[in-house]
């Protein structure tokens, strides 16, 4: 490539970057908005578009009374695009009769492969944290705000959180725990809608009403954060003792 051509290519790439392009999917341009064949619509669009209105979704969710029906509903829920790139829906782990519920953010790589929450590195730390207060995975119930892994473990968007919120709220209602440990800022923000950061709000119980019942929730640091900032573990230890004494 001569210098002029190179300069021209760099200019074009800069222009793409400036316009928001962050991934190259092919060399030859393709008109993705052109005429779509009826066959394509029949085979793809009708399968992937979920046409329930928000009101219909609310009605279905409010009629759900068991974990099995919630699982079935979530498996069929196609409005949240995250399910498309995920290998598995990560529903929950642990003991559904437990009075302690732990809620994390969203599955990571290992969770997506195994279909279970907190089985990767942060899950190993979570197991140790539970052991420290004489608990274990089979004595608590664990779920996430988002049941599908976001691509590259990115943080879920507000829109994704809002779409999944009725499902985790129903999950809480069915489990009916007497204490909920919120792991990290995403779980905390999703349920408490706090304006202050996790460092300020952690360690303080907040009662959140869901369908007429108040659930005590305790925000704490996420195990993945503790892996990066081990000096903060002392605060999590305080929160774990606080949780244990409450139940």
Pick the closer one to ligand URA by CB: 107 or 177. 107
CA 214/CA 176 separation, integer angstroms: 10
- For the bound state, the minimum distance from the C-beta of residue 118 to ligand URA, rounded and expressed in Å, comes to 4
From residue 20 to residue 49, what is the string marking binding to ligand URA with x (rule CB under 6 A)?
A: ------------------------------
**Position 117 contacts ligand URA (CB under 6 A):** yes
In terms of CB distance, is 98 or 122 closer to ligand URA? 122
**Residues 202 and 220 sit within 8 Å (Cβ to Cβ):** yes
Return the residue of 77, 91, 118, 141 that touches ligand URA, per CB under 6 A: 118
CB 194 within 8 A of CB 201: yes
Of 122 and 236, nearer to ligand URA (C-beta) is 122
Which one of 4-12, 49-57, 100-108, 130-138 is the stretch in contact with ligand URA (CB under 6 A)?
A: 100-108
Computed from CA positions of residues 204, 147, 48, 36, in that sequence, does the dihedral angle turn out positive or negative? Answer: positive
- 185 membership: H or E segment, kind and range: helix 185-192
Burial of residue 106 (CB within 10 Å: 0-12, 13-18, 19+) is buried
CB 79 within 8 A of CB 160: no
Using CB under 6 A, which of 144, 188, 220, 236 touches ligand URA?
144
Can you tell me which of 77, 86, 111, 112 binds ligand URA, judged by CB under 6 A? Answer: 111
Question: How far apart are the C-alpha atoms of 236 and 200, rounded to whole Å?
Answer: 13
Residues engaged in binding ligand URA (CB under 6 A): 104-108, 111, 117-118, 122, 144, 183, 224
């Amino acid at each position: 490539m001569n210098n002029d051509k190179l300069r021209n290519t760099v200019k074009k790439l800069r222009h793409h970057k400036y316009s928001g392009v962050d991934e190259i999917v092919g060399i030859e341009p393709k008109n993705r908005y052109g005429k779509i064949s009826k066959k394509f619509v029949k085979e793809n669009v009708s399968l992937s578009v979920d046409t329930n209105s928000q009101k219909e979704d609310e009605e279905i969710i409010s009629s759900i009374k068991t974990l099995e029906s919630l699982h079935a509903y979530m498996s069929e829920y196609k409005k949240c695009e995250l399910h498309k790139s995920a290998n598995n829906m990560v529903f929950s782990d642990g003991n559904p009769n437990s009075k302690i519920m732990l809620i994390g953010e969203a599955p990571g790589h290992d969770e997506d492969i195994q279909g279970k929450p907190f089985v990767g590195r942060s899950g190993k730390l979570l197991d140790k944290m539970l052991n420290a207060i004489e608990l274990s995975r089979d004595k608590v119930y664990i779920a996430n705000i988002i049941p599908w892994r976001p691509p590259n473990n990115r943080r879920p968007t507000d829109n994704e959180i809002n779409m999944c919120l009725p499902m985790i709220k129903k999950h809480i209602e069915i489990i009916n725990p007497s204490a909920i440990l919120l792991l990290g800022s995403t779980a905390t923000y999703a349920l408490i809608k706090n304006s202050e950061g996790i460092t300020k709000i952690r360690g303080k119980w907040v009662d959140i009403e869901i369908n007429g019942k108040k659930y005590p929730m305790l925000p704490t640091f996420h195990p993945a954060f503790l892996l990066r900032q081990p000096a903060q573990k002392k605060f999590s230890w305080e929160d774990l003792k606080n949780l244990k004494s409450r139940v």
